[in-house]
A = this chain, B = another copy of it.
Amino acid sequence: MSGHVLALSGGVGGAKMAAGLAAILPPERLTVVVNTGDDFEHLGLSICPDIDSVVYAMAGLNDRQRGWGMMDESWQMMAMLRRLGGPDWFNLGDRDLAMHLMRSAGLRQGLSLSDVTAQLVKALGIGGNIVPMSDDPVQTQIETAQGWLDFQSYFVGQQCQPIAKAIRFDGAEKAQISPAFAAALVRPDLAAVVICPSNPYLSIEPILAIPTVREALLGLQVPRICISPLIGGAAVKGPLGKLLMELGNGANNAAIAAHYGALISHMMIDRTDVSDAAPLHMAGLCVSLADTLMRHAADQSRLAHEVLTAIGIAV
């Protein structure tokens, strides 16, 4: 079986998976839908952290050592901004700024986020579509002892220190899914949904919170696989482990499977978490094992290949 693959992705881990899929599938067989719940305005710039992570990874421009942003980055603007007394809690690399400036200018001209993203993707010669989940604003908010914090205040400003009590997605109920996302969901050749190894609560849930998405996914007669973001019961990067404990579900693959419920038919977990396989199988999921850590581009392609193999999709 061949056909179209619809991937749902957040930032870094998801971006690597998306890049792996893009490396082994022809462009017309892949749509990557990206979380925009972390998007925010900063210094007049429209910043889309997860879209940028996916774009940089798929263009081979992502910085693997730092784990975010662009490779060969410099920080001259930030140094001068600090000297001018400007806000320095969010790091803006010099190369990265070109993305923000171009996107902001396009949005100000009245282009949709989908259109602007398509333009940037094309300019960088990326194969495969990178699509925002929605062209409407959705803002992830985290409830803490200090009240509700927007995502960047929680994630960057406070380094995920506050204990999360709840998460909500402002604007999601009024948002429409992006045209390319909607189109991918009804493709007659849609062959699989891949939920990338991203944070289920912060990166994938905003996508699912948009009306019609959950229903559309549940109605699909194709394999829907989640690649677990956990390795050895912990997140490779980011606050997932902490969030899983705080939100009361436990930091393990069963909690993630329970969270997704009927949305997924398959789950791929890391070999080190093999003990999670039996309960997942008992819960009715097709479970496969893999080395899910992606250090290099070769890991990404290898894992993408294993994912598609596990759900019976020919490359």
A residues contacting B by CB (< 8 A) are 43-45, 70, 73-74, 76-81, 83-86, 93-99, 101-102, 104-105, 108, 119-120, 123-124
Contact = CB atoms under 8 A, between A and B. Distances in A.
20 contacts: A43-B102, A43-B104, A44-B101, A44-B105, A70-B80, A76-B95, A77-B77, A79-B95, A80-B95, A80-B98, A80-B99, A83-B98, A83-B123, A84-B98, A84-B99, A84-B120, A85-B102, A86-B98, A94-B94, A97-B97
A26 to B, nearest CB: 24
A108 B44 contact: yes
B44 A123 contact: no
A98 B81 contact: yes
A264 to B, nearest CB: 36
For this chain, the copies found in one complex come to 2
Given A44-B44, A44-B108, A108-B44, A81 B94 contact: no
A104 B74 contact: no
Contacts of A94: 74, 76-77, 80, 94, 97
A74 to B, nearest CB: 5
Nearest to A82: B98
Contacts of A43: 101-102, 104-105
Nearest to A42: B105
A80 B80 CA distance: 19
Contacts of A99: 80, 84
Contacts of A81: 98, 101-102
Contacts of A119: 85
A120 B94 CA distance: 20
Nearest to A46: B44
Query: Of residues A44, A79, A93, which shows the largest number of chain B Cβ atoms within 10 Å of its Cβ?
Result: A44
A309 to B, nearest CB: 35
Contact of A101 (B77, B98, B124): B77
Contacts of A78: 98
A93 to B, nearest CB: 8
A280 to B, nearest CB: 43
A95 B81 CA distance: 8
Contacts of A86: 98, 101-102, 105
Contacts of A74: 74, 76, 94
Residue of A80, A83, A108 with most partner-chain B CB within 10 A: A80
Given A84-B123, A84-B124, A123-B83, A77 B102 contact: no
Contacts of A76: 73-74, 76, 93-95
Contacts of A44: 44-45, 101, 104-105, 108
Contacts of A70: 80
A86 B97 CA distance: 12
Nearest to A70: B80
A173 to B, nearest CB: 29
